[in-house]
Amino acid sequence: MNELMNVVDWSRAQFALTAIYHWLFVPLTLGLGVIIAIMETIYYRTRDQKWLATTRFWMTIFGVNFAIGVATGIILEFEFGTNWSNYSWFVGDIFGAPLAVEGILAFFMESTFIAIMFFGWKKVSPKFHLAATWLTAIGASLSALWILVANAWMQDPVGCQFNPETMRNEMTSFWEVATSPMAMSKFFHTVLSAWVLAGAFVVGVCSWMMMRKRNVEHCHRSLKVGGWVGLIGIVLTIVTGDSSAVTVAKSQPMKLAAMEGLYEGHNAQEIVAFGILNPAKTVDNNEDPFLLNISIPYGLSFLATHNIDAFVPGINDIINGISKDEKGNIINTVSYEERIKRGKLAQEAIAQHHAATQSNDAVALDEISKVLDENFKYFGYGYLDSPQEAVPNVPLTFYTFHFMVTIGGYLLLFMALVLFFEYKKKLNDKAKWNKWWHWLAILTIPLTYLCSASGWIVAEVGRQPWTIQDLMPNKVAISDLSAGYVQTTFWIFAVVFTALLIADVSIICKQIAKKSKTDLNVAEF
Amino acid sequence: MTHYILQNYWWLIISILGALLVFLLFVQGGQSMLIHAKTDGQRSMMVNSLGRKWEFTFTTLVTFGGAFFASFPLFYSTSFGGAYWLWMFILFSFVIQAVAYEYRSKHGNIYGSKFYDTLLLINGIVGPVLLGVAVAGMFFGNEFTVTKANILNVQSATISQWGSAHGLEAIVCWKNLIFGFMVFFLARTLASLYFINNIDDEEVRKAQRKHLLINAPIFVVLFLVSLVLICTAQGVQVDDNGNMATAPNKYLHNYLEMWWCLALLLIGVGMVLYGIGKTLLKPDYNHGIWFSGIGTVTVVLTLFWVLGFNGTAYYPSTIDVNSSLNLRNSSSSLFTLRVMSYVSILVPFVLAYIAVAWHKMDHNKITQHEIDTTDPDDKY
């Protein structure tokens, strides 16, 4: 069992490593693609060479970043098979479809038109080139759509039914899978947050150049586009964050409770604005969850349900199967002890199904189907040893969630100020606070990256121990490998990705430094 | 449409993607030949010629994997999780390729151009050889078992169990290696034909004809040996009830029973040889890549068809014949295959815009002058 747990841990670590590195590059590709397309559109409409020069400046950075995003992406796709082989069979019927659609519709669009975008300036007409740039940006977003549909399905498995003959879940409604509230919230929240990151990146780079008084005119052009994309992005990210919270409250109440460090829920539940968790608190003791916290009354009830009086269950409530109506009357739901029992019943029924089919025992098959129908939604709980096993890492989920929300609020203010200063022409050489503002803008780049990564940590750590919510825990999803094998590939990828990240950052910095010294009002080929 | 038809349809799609992938491996073949460039100018033209195509190979590989996952998830689960090292080496070689093109000539790339050229060389050799090894394993079999009921046993839940070498044994199997090196020399042959077509430079074309004269005969010999090995290999026959049994010379029988498949194989081989032969014999003939490329696609299509059609297990297990994977026991459900089939209607549209883009980009061939006058940031 220890060996098994080690393989699980290393497999998780390897997937997390790949996903984190992948997500360092993808949001900039998603957001910068849109920014470049807007800039080229302005050039196409005005035929102003300055806009062409500005477009090409950002396109160079886009290209460097794009390659490493592609490289880390292929690992993610194949790791579903190499490290999570049981998962691949158990849900491949549903999960594989969005991946195939992604490949056919999005990847080819991206890979075909990016070649024209970079090398087609002198080979195709300006109109065709502009179309290629937009299609590259759209292809990137389409690619994000399908992989996020797949991810959302793991968080909220809808549109499927278990088939005991094939021992797997099978799709019953593609539409339900593709348009589930979880999928829609996740797609828009993620892609729009990428716009914010790219906007912050553009603003930060321009601030660095303005500090050095290089190509100030180009910077003002870029700030306007980057600022607007960033502002629209952050407003819509906050709006979609709200709908994400509602879907999480419905489908993953344990995750929501962990995000808030909430052990005992209440009606009209407050939300923690700032808090320090008590390290001694566990689900088994009565310690106060917080050493310090500042809360907003009714906040969590409103966030989770849009009803300020609603009951929001805490971790212990969920484990014990307790909920309450608006008046505070207790409603019993299914406790985790019960879920584990019912999960085992479902598993036994599946085991009996094969024998009943072989003997063609219709009565037994009817009975088994009934048991399965009643209990299959708790199938995954049958693998758990105790209810406590179903509680995610609360501190990591709590702190990353609050960091994400805090930085998200800051980014709203920041992007609004960027545009205010830009349109009021406050960013000029005479302003004494210019330098401080520019430094703040530069520091906002890493803050935005951390904010973006935090969002993914909340989403993925908060749903542990599930690979597929309620149906398949990690320990059942893995391949039959030794821990040493996965540990070896983990370190190989860690070294390779880190070396490539260093090269990527170095090239981007050198490109910015080099190009900032050229005249970015003149387009060069 | 019935489940049976859709399973065959999706094997056809997989075959097409696999065949296109093998053709597009000319990019890897070309990378393995960069060390032969006599001058920096020649190397630059070759890298830039390949650099505008590497994404197609990469994307086809990703889509090939995605389509396999979606249509035959038990293969994805069994092969990828089982032959762990084989697939990890393949992945690793493609990861380093993607960045090598973009970084090799960029200011501030830290490790220097030669480092990235070495990465391209590694991908150029490891990619085709190991992809060939992986496909060879589909003909010659692997040591694995599949027990779906394992999923109910938390102590040993993995349904696909593989030997402890996890793919290393496939890499050192001589039959697989012959197939792998056959793919490698095919990739180099196609690369020479591609360079001759895509680079308008007499020195490059002359040098590539010399390379073609070496690589093509080696490929032809390895191909014939591989074909003999395949035709004499023991396959697995699947009857109408899904029962499986070993069958000697199964793939030879498949070629003979599916005459159209054999005819296409011969036509494909003829086209490959015609493209090579005419390029070697006529110094001003530069279009061999199209004959040999289409011929390659045709031959690989027939290989996939004898592998999966005519009641054949396309992934035989050498230790438990009943664990072998065939189109019926490893596919997605009827509903999923049907849904994806609607999506596949868009494939011709995708192929059409790729063709348009390819034509526009390749209309003017790469020349030394173009490379010299292009902004450093617009070339590899």
Exposure on the CB side of residue A270, measured as CA atoms within 13 A: 9
**Domain span including residue B233:** 3-378
Distance from the Cα of B111 to chain A's closest Cα (Å) equals: 8
Query: Is A231 in contact with A416 (CB distance < 8 Å)?
Result: yes
For residue B377, the chain A residues in CB contact (below 8 A) are 56, 60, 511
For residue A82, the chain B residues in CB contact (below 8 A) are 80-81, 84, 87-88, 91
Quick one: which of A268, A387, A384 has its CA closest to A318? A387
- Flag if B110 and A503 touch (Cβ within 8 Å): yes
- Flag if B66 and A102 touch (Cβ within 8 Å): yes
Q: How many CB atoms lie within 10 A of CB B374?
A: 17
**From A496, which residue of chain B is nearest by alpha-carbon distance?**
B96
Distance from the Cα of B198 to chain A's closest Cα (Å) equals: 15
Whether chain A has a CB inside 8 Å of the CB on B148: the answer is yes
For residue A163, the chain B residues in CB contact (below 8 A) are 333
Q: Provide the whole-model pTM.
A: 0.91
Of A64, A85, A97, the CB nearest to B158: A85
Domain limits of chain A? 2-252+392-511, 256-332, 336-387
Query: Is B368 in contact with A130 (CB distance < 8 Å)?
Result: no
Euclidean distance between CA atoms B240 and B227, whole angstroms: 28
Distance from the Cα of A211 to chain B's closest Cα (Å) equals: 22
- Flag if B66 and A478 touch (Cβ within 8 Å): no
- What secondary structure letter does DSSP report for A456? H
Cα B147 from chain centroid (whole Å): 29
- What secondary structure letter does DSSP report for A306? S
Euclidean distance between CA atoms A91 and A158, whole angstroms: 12
> Rounded to the nearest 10 degrees, how much is the dihedral formed by the CA atoms of B191, B197, B198, B199?
100
Whether chain A has a CB inside 8 Å of the CB on B375: the answer is yes
Mean pLDDT by 10 residues, chain A (525 residues): 72 94 93 97 95 94 88 87 92 85 83 87 91 94 90 94 91 93 94 97 95 91 96 96 93 95 93 93 90 93 92 93 81 90 94 86 90 93 94 96 96 95 73 83 96 95 94 93 93 94 93 90 75
For residue B1, with 0-12 CB atoms within 10 Å meaning exposed, 13-18 middle and 19 or more buried, which class applies? exposed
Query: Is A225 in contact with A202 (CB distance < 8 Å)?
Result: yes
Euclidean distance between CA atoms A471 and A38, whole angstroms: 44
- Regions of chain B where pLDDT drops below 50: none
B124-163 burial: b if 16+ Cβ within 10 Å, else e: bbbbbbbbbbbbbbbbbbbbbbbbbebbbebeebbbbbbb
User: CB within 8 A of A498, min separation 6: which ones?
Assistant: none
Of B56, B157, B332, the CB nearest to A476: B157
Euclidean distance between CA atoms A276 and A292, whole angstroms: 5
Query: Is B318 in contact with B142 (CB distance < 8 Å)?
Result: yes
User: Strand B144-146 vs strand B160-162: parallel, antiparallel, or unpaired?
Assistant: antiparallel
Distance from the Cα of A247 to chain B's closest Cα (Å) equals: 26
Euclidean distance between CA atoms B354 and B63, whole angstroms: 15
- Longest CA–CA span in chain B (Å) reads 67
Whether chain A has a CB inside 8 Å of the CB on B184: the answer is no
Euclidean distance between CA atoms B90 and B127, whole angstroms: 6
Whether chain A has a CB inside 8 Å of the CB on B377: the answer is yes
* DSSP H or E stretch at residue A64: helix A49-82
Domain count, chain B: 1
For residue A88, the chain B residues in CB contact (below 8 A) are 69, 73, 76-77, 80-81
- Flag if A171 and B335 touch (Cβ within 8 Å): yes
For residue B350, the chain A residues in CB contact (below 8 A) are 104-105, 108-109
What DSSP assignment string belongs to B281-350?
H-TT---HHHHHHHHHHHHHHHHHHHHHTTTBEEE-BSS-GGG-EETTTSSPPHHHHHHHHHHHTTHHHH
Query: Is A207 in contact with A255 (CB distance < 8 Å)?
Result: no
What DSSP assignment string belongs to B80-123?
IHHSHHHHHHHHHHHHHHHHHHHHTTSTT-SS-HHHHHHHHHHH
Between positions 276 and 305 of B, the ones with CB within 8 A of A are none
For residue B364, the chain A residues in CB contact (below 8 A) are 123
Distance from the Cα of B288 to chain A's closest Cα (Å) equals: 24
**From B362, which residue of chain A is nearest by alpha-carbon distance?**
A123
For residue B70, the chain A residues in CB contact (below 8 A) are 92, 96-97, 99-100
Between positions 56 and 85 of B, the ones with CB within 8 A of A are 56, 58-59, 61-63, 65-67, 69-71, 73-74, 76-82, 84-85
Distance from the Cα of B206 to chain A's closest Cα (Å) equals: 26
Distance from the Cα of B17 to chain A's closest Cα (Å) equals: 10
Euclidean distance between CA atoms B179 and B251, whole angstroms: 15
Of A92, A128, A500, the CB nearest to B69: A92
What DSSP assignment string belongs to B60-83?
HHHHHHHHHHHH-HHHIIIIIHHS
What's phi and psi for B19, nearest 5 deg? -65, -40
| C-alpha triplet A147, A149, A151: angle, nearest 5° | 70
- Flag if B80 and A82 touch (Cβ within 8 Å): yes
User: Strand A311-312 vs strand A168-171: parallel, antiparallel, or unpaired?
Assistant: unpaired
Q: How many CB atoms lie within 10 A of CB A410?
A: 15
Reported ipTM: 0.91
For residue B344, the chain A residues in CB contact (below 8 A) are 104
For B346, the token pair is: 């868009």
* DSSP H or E stretch at residue B162: strand B160-162
Distance from the Cα of B239 to chain A's closest Cα (Å) equals: 19
**From A515, which residue of chain B is nearest by alpha-carbon distance?**
B377
Query: Is B215 in contact with B192 (CB distance < 8 Å)?
Result: yes
User: CB within 8 A of B355, min separation 6: which ones?
Assistant: none
A253-260 helix and A394-423 helix, angle to the nearest 10 degrees: 70
Euclidean distance between CA atoms A164 and A365, whole angstroms: 11
Whether chain A has a CB inside 8 Å of the CB on B355: the answer is no
For B141, the token pair is: 């079999």
Q: Which of B93, B159, B328, B358 to mutate to test the interface with A (most CBs of A within 10 A)?
A: B159
Distance from the Cα of A338 to chain B's closest Cα (Å) equals: 19
pLDDT at residue A446, rounded to an integer: 97
Euclidean distance between CA atoms A469 and A156, whole angstroms: 6
Three-state DSSP state, A201: helix
- Flag if B63 and A383 touch (Cβ within 8 Å): no
Of A67, A86, A482, the CB nearest to B98: A67
CATH number at residue B321: 1.20.1630.10
A98-109 burial: b if 16+ Cβ within 10 Å, else e: bbbbbbbbbbbb
Euclidean distance between CA atoms B149 and A348, whole angstroms: 11
For residue B378, the chain A residues in CB contact (below 8 A) are 118-119, 121, 525
Unique residue bearing structure tokens 């747990």: A5
For residue A352, the chain B residues in CB contact (below 8 A) are none
- Flag if B333 and A60 touch (Cβ within 8 Å): no
- Flag if A103 and B63 touch (Cβ within 8 Å): yes
Residue type for position A472 = M
pLDDT at residue A493, rounded to an integer: 93
| C-alpha triplet B229, B231, B236: angle, nearest 5° | 105
Quick one: which of A139, A143, A149, A142 has its CA closest to A173? A149
Unique residue bearing structure tokens 């056959």: B182
**From B77, which residue of chain A is nearest by alpha-carbon distance?**
A85
A188's torsion region: left (phi>0), alpha (psi -120 to 50) or beta?
Answer: alpha
- Flag if A479 and B84 touch (Cβ within 8 Å): yes
Euclidean distance between CA atoms B301 and A486, whole angstroms: 35
- Flag if A103 and B62 touch (Cβ within 8 Å): yes
- Flag if B62 and A4 touch (Cβ within 8 Å): no
Whether chain A has a CB inside 8 Å of the CB on B274: the answer is no
